[in-house]
């Protein structure tokens, strides 16, 4: 369980995090969705104890914040920028970070092997990171944060710069972690990732957490109307239309109404609002401007 | 945990080929190159002495001339007795020889009283003393070569000196060999004199060599390598310090510091890991260079324990300096540049380039502000200056205190710095 209350953090004149509060239940995957500079990394940095907040409190597993050594042991952190040693091999990196968490012996060996497997680098295990491609480094960066079997995991844009195949591999890993009842906080500016992985999503912009809810509720509450397009078998209505497009808050009821009029419907397209629209409605901007 | 960090840092140093060059290759080059340019061991094979001829007789002049001719073994100068004493005390000369007036008369083998030569030398320098006695005896015997004599006394004298020299570990090899060869020749010469032809008057009595002990003389390096190896060690330390200072900023710039901060280790143990690795690297470089110097270039390691103390305190000092330098900049280039600048300056005024010995007096005083001076002093103290434990204390405590202060300040600044 993670409980964040009234977090604030400023860098000079920039209020990077402004009165952010949310809760994440045990075993839940929580997404922080927001554009560049929204304050996602800063928020995560405070949660994992890498930065100190100006004010506000964080409580992890009901046992205080990340200043406590006990809590730190539970936390797995995958930073947004690469944080691995270029001059060490993939295996040595994993081993070093395992050692930092007090692992050793056969447990460490198993976890290093699992980390290599997770990052798809088993056959490059003894090569130096400096010789890896960007995507390979990214995957190793992810594995290094998970090597000690953390139960509370912070992933800061782990898929940036990764090819679609590796990205899928990362998604599968995260889904496995969900199966293992890990609590996950995941930041991204891709709404597809948030939709696919996260149980609940917080939308962030300019340091503010604008809305927090499940994908469905967010769309219901902030997405606005769905787009409906009906194709008729025969010309319909006063103007003899073959196609009718309109927006509606309750698309299926309206479609049912048309059907009840006795006209033959050839096709019905209902497009629900998505996170993009949610974001647009909340901020007046699209996610990527 | 500390061990894991230390191990990782040593591995990084080992893999960094450029850093390895600056920490080992370059210093070895310096030591060997300058050691050879400034004479290496050939200059050391000569023993510098002053001869004071108070007799001024033809006989004494002939003896002085004989000593002068031994150019491969001796470097003979003539000064006043006062100057000679001073120079021996300062370590400029190894010894002085006084030929007292009356030597010419007394050295007649048939004279009633025995003639006398006075050798002024630090009694601690037993090896040089034996060597000089041997050379003097040889010179005197050459004078008496024509005369028949009883050689037993000479033989025992030679045997004694030979033992003395063979037993002395601080005696450099080339000198030892030269001397032993001379001993052999002398022995052969003595053997050629039939002992039955001893004079009825009690035989030849060579002049007695009276040793005038001069306590507390300054030691001097035996070879240029004994100067250049401590200097090379300094260069090696500068290489280690710069490399580690860079690895600390690098942790920051490559983001791994973030992981270290989030891991369940205290900042103190993280820095302790760094310090341990840096200490091991410093000590390793020093031991490697000293071993090379001792084995290949005959650098004397007279006090292993004191040398250990010098190595440990220098390492502590430079670990502290490393910590302080690592916070001088935010990027690797900034830290590399500023570290190198600061360190080369310290080295320049501290005797890492121009030997302390060769500095003018005012410069030697200025050099006290440089940690390099104290490190060189400690190392030289245990190599050729013949420091006692008490004499080692000042440089070593300066090094340790400076190291601790620098580390504390550096660590404080490091932790105060937020990204
Ligand atoms: N160390 C810092 N010093 C100064 N300003 C900073 C620092 N870190 C973050 N900021 C500022 O805080 C704001 C939030 O940054 P943050 O990195 O948290 O955004 P983000 O949501 O992670 O963005 P992105 O998607 O680009 O990673 C930005 O305006 C940024 O300029
Ligand atoms: Mg970010």
Task: Encode pLDDT of B45-89 as tens digits.
Answer: 577 888 888 888 888 888 888 888 877 778 888 888 888 887 777
Pocket test for ligand 1, best of A34, A42, A45, A279 (most atoms within 8 A of CB): A42
- How would you label B136-160 residue by residue, b for 16+ Cβ within 10 Å and e otherwise? bbbbbbebbeeebbbbeebeebbee
Residues on chain B touching A51 (C-beta within 8 angstroms): 418-419
Q: Which tens digit of pLDDT belongs to each residue from A37-53? A: 999 999 999 999 999 99
- Contact assignment for A82 to B255 by CB distance below 8 Å: yes
Structure tokens at B200: 């009825």
A188 near A34, Cβ under 8 Å?
A: no
Residues on chain B touching A73 (C-beta within 8 angstroms): 264
pLDDT tops 60 at residue B110: no
Ligand 1 binding pocket (C-beta < 6 A) is A 11, 14, 16, 34, 36-42, 80, 189; B 419
Nearest CA distance, A90 vs chain B (angstrom): 13
The pLDDT score that the predictor gives to residue B303 is 81
Residues on chain B touching A145 (C-beta within 8 angstroms): 259
Q: Which residue of A has its CA nearest to B15?
A: A87
| SS (HEC) of chain B | CHHHHHHHHHHHHHHCHHHHHHHHHHHHHHHHHHHHHCCCCHHHHCEEEEEEECCCCHHHHHHHHHHHHCCCCEEEECCCHHHHHHHHHHCCCCEEEEECCCHHHHCCCCCCCCCEEEEEECCCCHHHHHHHHHHHHHHHHHHCCCCCCCCHHHHHHHHHHHHHHHHCCCCCHHHHHHHHHHHHHHHHHHHHCCHHHCCCCCCCCCCEEEEEECCCCCCCCCCCHHHHHHHHHHHHHHHHHHHHHHHHHHHHHCCHHHHHHHCCCCHHHHHHHHHHHHHHHHHHHHHHHHHHHHHHHCCCCCCHHHHHHHHHHHHHHHHHHHHHHHCCCCCHHHHHHHHHHHHHHHHHHHCCCCCHHHCCHHHHHHHHHCHHHHHHHHHHHHHCCCCCHHHHHHHHHHHHHHHHHHHHHHHHHHHHCCC
- Contact assignment for A83 to B255 by CB distance below 8 Å: yes
Ligand having the closest approach to the CA of A42? 1
Distances (CA, A) of B114 to A190, B105, B133, B204, B237: 108, 10, 17, 10, 58
pLDDT tops 80 at residue B188: no
Q: Which tens digit of pLDDT belongs to each residue from B246-303? A: 999 999 899 999 999 999 998 888 899 999 999 999 999 999 999 998 888 888 777 8
* CA angle centred on B413, ends B412 and B417, rounded to 5°: 120
Architecture of the structural domain at B47-212: 3-Layer(aba) Sandwich (3.40)
Q: Find the Cα–Cα–Cα–Cα dihedral B331, B336, B338, B339, rounded to 10°.
A: 130
Nearest CA distance, B267 vs chain A (angstrom): 12
Give the number of A-B residue pairs with CB atoms closer than 8 Å: 68
Across chain B, what does the average pLDDT equal?
A: 80
B31 near B239, Cβ under 8 Å?
A: no
Ranges in chain A, pLDDT < 70: 288-289
Nearest CA distance, A215 vs chain B (angstrom): 31
How far, in Å, CA of B99 to CA of B95, rounded?
13
Q: Which tens digit of pLDDT belongs to each residue from A97-156? A: 999 999 989 999 999 999 999 888 999 999 999 999 988 999 999 999 999 999 999 999
How far, in Å, CA of B105 to CA of B60, rounded?
10
Interface residue B416 vs chain A (CB under 8 A): no
Nearest CA distance, B405 vs chain A (angstrom): 27
Nearest CA distance, B265 vs chain A (angstrom): 7
The pLDDT score that the predictor gives to residue B45 is 56
Residues on chain A touching B268 (C-beta within 8 angstroms): none
Residues on chain B touching A66 (C-beta within 8 angstroms): 262
> Which residue's alpha carbon is nearest to atom 28 within ligand 1?
A37
- Contact assignment for A88 to B263 by CB distance below 8 Å: no
A144: exposed, middle or buried (C-beta count within 10 Å: 0-12, 13-18, 19+)?
buried
Return the domain boundaries, chain B: 47-212, 221-416
- For CA atoms A188, A189, A194, A197, the dihedral sign is negative
Compare CB distances from A69 to B12, B254, B264 and report the shortest one's residue: B264
Residue with tokens 């324990």: B305
The pLDDT score that the predictor gives to residue A218 is 86
Residues in A lying within 8 Å of B, measured between beta carbons: 48-51, 66, 69-70, 72-73, 75, 77, 79, 81-88, 92, 96-97, 99-102, 128, 144-145
Pocket test for ligand 1, best of A7, A8, A10, A11 (most atoms within 8 A of CB): A11
- Contact assignment for B262 to A49 by CB distance below 8 Å: yes
Interface residue B261 vs chain A (CB under 8 A): yes
The pLDDT score that the predictor gives to residue B208 is 76
Largest CA distance in chain A: 80
> Cα of A42 to ligand 1 centre, how many Å?
6
Distances (CA, A) of A287 to A19, A49, A189, A281, B6: 21, 28, 7, 11, 45
Give the CA count within 13 Å in the CB-facing half-sphere of B351: 30
The pLDDT score that the predictor gives to residue A289 is 57
Atom of ligand 1 nearest to the CA of A80: 27
The pLDDT score that the predictor gives to residue A41 is 95
pLDDT tops 70 at residue B193: no
Q: Find the Cα–Cα–Cα–Cα dihedral B122, B125, B128, B132, rounded to 10°.
A: 40
Decide: pTM greater than 0.80.
Answer: no
Residue of B263, B265, B268, B273 for testing the chain A interface, max A β-carbons within 10 Å: B263
The pLDDT score that the predictor gives to residue B202 is 41
- For CA atoms A115, A119, A120, A125, the dihedral sign is negative
Atom of ligand 1 nearest to the CA of A32: 21
Residue of B10, B262, B419 for testing the chain A interface, max A β-carbons within 10 Å: B262
Nearest CA distance, A54 vs chain B (angstrom): 13
How far, in Å, CA of A180 to CA of B268, rounded?
34
pLDDT band at B178 (very low <50, low <70, confident <90, very high): confident
- Contact assignment for B11 to A92 by CB distance below 8 Å: yes
Atom of ligand 1 nearest to the CA of A207: 14
Compare CB distances from A50 to B5, B11, B258 and report the shortest one's residue: B258
């Amino acid at each position: 369980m993670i409980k964040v209350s009234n977090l604030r953090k400023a860098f000079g004149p920039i209020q990077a995090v402004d009165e952010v509060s949310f809760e994440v239940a045990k075993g839940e995957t929580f997404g922080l969705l927001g554009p560049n500079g929204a304050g996602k990394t800063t928020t995560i940095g405070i949660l994992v104890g890498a930065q100190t907040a100006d004010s506000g409190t964080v409580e992890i597993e009901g046992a205080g914040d990340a200043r406590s050594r006990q809590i730190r042991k539970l936390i797995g952190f995958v930073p947004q920028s690469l944080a691995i040693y270029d001059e060490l091999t993939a295996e040595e990196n994993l081993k070093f970070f395992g050692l930092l968490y007090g692992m050793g012996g056969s447990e460490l060996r198993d976890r290093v092997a699992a980390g290599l497997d997770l990052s798809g680098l088993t056959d490059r295990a003894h090569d130096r990171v400096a010789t890896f491609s960007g995507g390979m480094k990214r995957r190793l960066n992810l594995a290094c944060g998970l090597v000690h079997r953390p139960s509370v995991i912070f992933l800061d844009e782990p898929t940036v710069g990764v090819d679609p195949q590796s990205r899928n591999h990362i998604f599968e890993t995260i889904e496995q972690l969900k199966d293992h009842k890990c609590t996950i906080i995941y930041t991204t500016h891709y709404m597809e990732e948030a939709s696919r992985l996260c149980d609940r999503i917080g939308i962030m912009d300019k340091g503010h957490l604008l809305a927090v809810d499940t994908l469905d509720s967010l769309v219901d509450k902030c997405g606005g109307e769905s787009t409906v397009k009906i194709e008729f078998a025969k010309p319909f209505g006063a103007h003899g239309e073959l196609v009718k497009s309109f927006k509606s808050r309750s698309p299926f009821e309206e479609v049912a109404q048309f059907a009840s009029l006795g006209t033959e419907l050839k096709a019905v397209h209902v497009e629900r609002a998505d996170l993009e629209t949610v974001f647009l409605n909340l901020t007046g901007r699209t996610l990527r401007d | 945990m500390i061990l894991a960090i230390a191990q990782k840092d040593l591995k990084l140093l080992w893999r960094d080929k450029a850093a390895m060059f600056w920490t080992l290759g370059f210093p070895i080059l310096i030591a060997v190159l300058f050691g050879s340019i400034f004479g290496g061991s050939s200059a050391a094979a000569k023993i510098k002495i002053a001869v004071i001829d108070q007799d001024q007789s033809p006989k004494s002049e002939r003896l002085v001339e004989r000593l002068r001719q031994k150019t491969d073994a001796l470097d003979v100068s003539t000064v006043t007795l006062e100057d000679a004493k001073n120079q021996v005390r300062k370590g400029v000369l190894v010894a002085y020889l006084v030929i007292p007036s009356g030597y010419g008369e007394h050295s007649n083998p048939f004279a009633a009283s025995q003639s006398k030569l006075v050798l002024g030398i630090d009694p601690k320098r037993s090896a040089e003393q034996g060597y000089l006695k041997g050379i003097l005896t040889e010179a005197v015997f050459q004078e008496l070569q024509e005369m028949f004599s009883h050689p037993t006394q000479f033989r025992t004298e030679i045997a004694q000196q030979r033992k003395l020299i063979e037993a002395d570990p601080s005696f450099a090899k080339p000198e030892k060999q030269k001397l032993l060869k001379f001993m052999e020749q002398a022995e052969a010469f003595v053997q050629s004199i039939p002992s039955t032809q001893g004079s009825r008057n009690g035989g030849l009595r060579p002049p007695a060599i009276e040793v005038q002990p001069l306590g507390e003389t300054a030691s001097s390096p035996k070879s240029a390598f004994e100067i250049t190896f401590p200097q090379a060690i300094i260069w090696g330390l500068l290489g280690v310090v710069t490399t580690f200072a860079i690895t600390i900023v690098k942790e920051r710039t490559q983001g791994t510091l973030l992981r270290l901060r989030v891991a369940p280790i205290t900042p103190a143990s993280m820095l302790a890991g760094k310090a341990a690795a840096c200490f091991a690297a410093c000590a390793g470089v020093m031991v490697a260079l000293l071993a090379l110097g001792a084995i290949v270039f005959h650098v004397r390691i007279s006090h292993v324990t004191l040398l250990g103390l010098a190595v440990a305190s220098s390492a502590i000092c430079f670990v502290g300096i490393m910590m302080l330098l690592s916070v001088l900049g935010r990027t690797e280039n900034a830290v590399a540049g500023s570290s190198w600048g600061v360190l080369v300056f310290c080295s320049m005024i501290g005797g890492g380039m121009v030997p302390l010995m060769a500095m003018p007096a005012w410069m030697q005083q200025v050099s006290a502000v440089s940690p390099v001076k104290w490190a060189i002093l400690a190392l030289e103290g245990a190599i050729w200056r013949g420091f006692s434990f008490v004499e080692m204390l000042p440089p070593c405590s300066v090094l340790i205190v400076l190291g601790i202060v620098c580390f504390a300040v550096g660590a404080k600044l490091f932790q105060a710095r937020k990204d």
